[in-house]
A and B are shown apart, each in its own frame.
Chain A
């Protein structure tokens, strides 16, 4: 063996950023390219939500609801797609990554685990957007939904903010699921219908009454959808809060969840190292 001075390798901020972005892209690649190879999945992912759109739209029609409500259903289906992606491909995914032994590989690599979560988010958003765009377009065409968008930039901006807050929440949940340690599947299952109900996926959230709706604002989807309903459809009476307040709410939620994700990840990492729980497999 030889004697050698320690080589100190301190990355510059730019280097560190580049390395982490590389890692994010590596992880996102699976969702941007890989997952889309399964054409039958793609088909099902587009068609399944169309069923629920059809069911809810036809139900509204059978009850002679105003025509904007068809549009609410479509908007709801769009957000539902992202929510399901957050639940299963973000929150529960980390749990499965551990079972596959990936989590260990991520924690061992010279990058921030946040980079992996960012990659998963970016990939998930891409993956879902492709599918949801197809679903929404088809749904809107089939049921002749009319959108009246006066300010497309505001709509896009709010949509983007909603996604940031949603995936921030997904990133936080990914770590919390692991800390909680229960079967991820149960949790994600629990957070489906109740959240659709509370966030007002098919109807103006106002209908739930003030206090319930206010509580539901903790789910980023609620604020995003309420704001979009006000901006995308003619009926101006449906809003729960002025759009400006909702934008502020989304910004705050986005910031809180991103910081929360960072903290939760740190906590998880520390806990895992203390308890030796990064893998479930016995080796």
Chain B
């Protein structure tokens, strides 16, 4: 593939202050492009539909039916809008986590490209970031489909005019940074393990799905879990996005906090989380190099 042909070209590398950035771009851009090709499966409409339409839609419909049987109300309620949207937004977190850690597994085992990324241009994490961007784009597609379907067929109470765009977008992007950081950390972990590429990120995603109020307010969690949740950026991400989208959140325990406070907590926890994730990633990578694990292959 394209990456394998990228070798260090002494002339182009240059010096100057922008050299590292330029080099980073040379990993980032092709990785995004390649990731887009792989993630979107454009060449294979069947696969594309399975992963980006059928599975997310069916998953959402399960929740719809659960809501209907449990509440015996219709879907034109705030409660429904909160559940449905929370689930849709979770697709981003799940997608980025799974996508980024899967890259390590897939590249290492199927395309065996990781080593070329190393031999080739700059740092691995630019490559991973590129793949994360691709994953983000593809996920956006499914989220749009989910929300549109909700709006059209279920009367989802999500109104353009109510959305506080600046606030929503700020919260949304901060959360994405957190998700990407976590994705990096998981990728680092992946480098150290041979198998279970999928499972580790699924476990991580599962924990956040439960703890951070994507589906139900953190109010229903035991108090100790609520305390933990307040340390995780995605809890604030959820509350922030909800306030941006609906004008209010769904959690009673967070209701007294102002919009500004929510954003602050989101920013602070993201910074802490991001720093820890980066440290974990670099640590894991160093360890992987030392142990010679980078191009290990598992067979089943």
Contacts and interface: CB of A to CB of B under 8 A. Distances in A.
A binds B: yes
Interface of A: 40-41, 44, 47-48, 51-52, 54-56, 58-66, 69, 96, 100, 182-183, 186, 189-190, 192-194, 196-197, 201-204, 207-208
A202 to B, nearest CB: 6
Given A186-B47, A186-B50, A62 B62 contact: no
Nearest to A207: B69
Given A41-B196, A48-B202, A189-B51, 13 more contacts: A51-B203, A51-B209, A55-B210, A59-B216, A60-B66, A63-B67, A63-B71, A190-B54, A193-B54, A193-B56, A196-B58, A201-B62, A204-B69
A89 to B, nearest CB: 12
A138 B217 CA distance: 23
A250 to B, nearest CB: 23
B220 A207 contact: no
B297 interface: no
Contacts, number: 100
A-B pairs, 7 with minimum CB distance: A65-B70, A51-B206, A62-B216, A193-B58, A63-B70, A194-B58, A190-B50
B206 to A, nearest CB: 4
B203 A47 contact: yes
A189 B55 contact: yes
Given A44-B199, A51-B203, A59-B83, A197 B61 contact: yes
Interface of B: 46-47, 50-51, 54-56, 58-59, 61-63, 65-71, 79, 83, 195-196, 199, 202-203, 206-207, 209-210, 215-217, 219-221, 300
Contacts of A194: 54-55, 58
Contact of A58 (B61, B65, B196, B216): B216
B220 A58 contact: yes
Given A44-B203, A58-B215, A204-B69, A192 B55 contact: yes
A182 B195 CA distance: 24
A100 B210 CA distance: 38
B54 A54 contact: no
13 contacts: A41-B196, A48-B199, A48-B202, A58-B215, A62-B219, A63-B70, A189-B51, A190-B50, A193-B58, A194-B54, A197-B61, A202-B62, A203-B69
A35 B134 CA distance: 35
A42 to B, nearest CB: 12
Contact of B196 (A44, A189, A190, A192): A44
B203 A63 contact: no
A44 B195 CA distance: 12
Contact of B220 (A51, A61, A208): A61
A52 B206 contact: yes
B207 A51 contact: yes
Nearest to A56: B66
A189 B54 CA distance: 10
A40 B215 CA distance: 28
A41 B203 CA distance: 12
A98 to B, nearest CB: 13
Contacts of A52: 206
A60 B67 CA distance: 8
Nearest to B250: A62
B64 to A, nearest CB: 9
Contact of B66 (A41, A47, A59, A183): A59
